[in-house]
């Protein structure tokens, strides 16, 4: 939980939740949007741990007792159903961190129905009552700006990338939730899948090549970007502490770049962040000819702070300088002797 706690300190107002790899596609599908009434909600399972501000829990308790009728209704719900309402009624997209978590028994969605919770939220936002206690403003960073995807296996870092496998909520074609057109969650899922049929990865396959596979300390398992990286896309690490390093090793089967580029600095650039929320400093790449092994590529880099000193840094990003014509696979990252 160290890495999750580090992330929660960075974004203390967010609902930050551990989520199983096998549930990635489902939970990313269960994000609901209607910009006309400021609806921007999603579901997250609380069973695997998470961080949430105390004020948001207190606000939910106030909502439960908003009326006698509402109080009686919630007393009839199971704990599992109550969690669904809590997650949806935050009216914020959960910040989901995907990790290989163990479950006591099989994960089952048969007792999870988000429809009642989301339709009640929709009705309250439409009525625009001053006393419904629902948030109207979406928290920053938005889902498009979020880049933390998974905890490293050693719990000493977080894997970051701006490459999102699922369709962006900012997409104009993203379904607008409307209970008059959608009568249950299954119907919404079918509509979502039809809308983005070619953009949604296969659930079973993606569980074996999801974000965590890049930082699970097993170079035989790999994260697959699914989409072709574009110029400006990046991946990297956000450390729970600080680290000093001058060399990057990328464990990847995608090593045939010498056919297109003479050196790695034509393909990659590196930037680091010395302090949380600080500016990003571009680094100079060194030792970049393609004298690499078949399963890894590496290069030295030098980053100086404002005092021209080599200081420990908090985060590192490896950016693509060119569009790729294929998906990118990453099986591990090394920073000097630190390898995940």
pLDDT digits (tens, 9 = 90+) for 146-201: 999 999 999 999 999 999 989 999 988 899 999 999 999 999 999 998 898 877 88
Please indicate, yes or no, whether the overall pTM of this predicted structure exceeds 0.85: yes
Q: What is the pLDDT of residues 208-257, one digit of tens each?
A: 899 999 999 999 999 999 999 999 999 999 999 999 999 999 999 876 66
Instruction: Work out the pLDDT band at 298, boundaries 50, 70, 90.
Output: confident
Q: Do the bridges between strand 234-243 and strand 313-320 make them parallel or antiparallel, or are there none, so unpaired?
A: antiparallel
pLDDT tens digits, 103-151: 554 455 555 678 999 998 999 899 877 667 889 999 999 999 999 999 9
Could you give the CA distance from residue 51 to residue 23 in angstroms, rounded to a whole number? 19
| 287 pLDDT tier (thresholds 50, 70, 90) | low
Q: What is the mean pLDDT of the chain?
A: 87
Please give the helix or strand (H or E) that residue 48 lies within, else none. none
pLDDT score at 314? 95
pLDDT at 288: 60
CA–CA separation, 154 vs 232, rounded Å?
28
**Who's near 333: CB < 8 A, 6+ residues apart?**
214, 215, 236, 237, 248, 249, 250, 251, 339, 340
Question: CB-side exposure of 152: number of CA atoms within 13 Å?
Answer: 26
Taking the CA atoms of the chain, what radius of gyration do you get in angstroms? 22
What is the average pLDDT across 53-77? Answer: 80
134 CB-near residues (< 8 Å, 6+ apart)? 63, 89, 91, 121, 124, 125
161: closest CA among 227, 116, 104? 227
């Amino acid at each position: 939980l160290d890495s999750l706690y580090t992330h929660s300190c960075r974004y203390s107002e967010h609902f930050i939740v551990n989520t199983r790899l096998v549930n990635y596609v489902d939970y990313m599908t269960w994000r609901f949007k209607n910009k006309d009434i400021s609806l921007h909600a999603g579901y997250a399972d609380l069973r695997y741990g998470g961080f949430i501000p105390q004020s948001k829990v207190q606000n939910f308790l106030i909502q439960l007792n908003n009326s006698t009728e509402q109080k009686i209704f919630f007393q009839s719900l199971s704990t599992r159903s109550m969690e669904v309402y809590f997650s949806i009624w935050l009216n914020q997209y959960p910040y989901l961190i995907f990790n290989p978590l163990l479950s006591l028994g099989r994960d089952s969605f048969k007792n999870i129905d988000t429809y009642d919770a989301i339709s009640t939220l929709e009705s309250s936002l439409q009525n625009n009552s001053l006393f419904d206690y629902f948030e109207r403003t979406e928290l920053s960073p938005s889902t498009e700006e979020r880049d933390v995807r998974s905890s490293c296996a050693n719990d000493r870092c977080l894997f970051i990338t701006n490459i999102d496998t699922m369709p962006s909520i900012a997409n104009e074609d993203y379904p607008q939730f409307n209970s008059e057109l959608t009568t249950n969650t299954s119907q919404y899922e079918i509509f979502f899948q039809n809308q983005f049929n070619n953009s949604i990865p296969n659930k079973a396959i993606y569980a074996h090549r999801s974000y965590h596979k890049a930082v699970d300390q097993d170079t035989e398992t790999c994260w697959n970007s699914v989409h072709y990286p574009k110029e400006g896309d990046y991946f990297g690490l956000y450390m729970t502490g600080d680290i000093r390093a001058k060399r990057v090793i990328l464990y990847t089967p995608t090593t045939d770049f010498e056919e297109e580029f003479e050196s790695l600095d034509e393909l990659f650039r590196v930037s680091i962040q010395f302090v949380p929320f600080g500016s990003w400093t571009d680094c100079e790449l060194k030792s970049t000819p393609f004298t690499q092994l078949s399963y890894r590529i590496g290069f030295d880099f030098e980053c100086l702070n404002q005092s021209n000193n080599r200081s420990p840094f908090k985060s590192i990003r490896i950016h693509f300088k060119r569009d790729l014509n294929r998906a990118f696979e990453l099986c591990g990252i090394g920073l000097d002797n630190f390898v995940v």
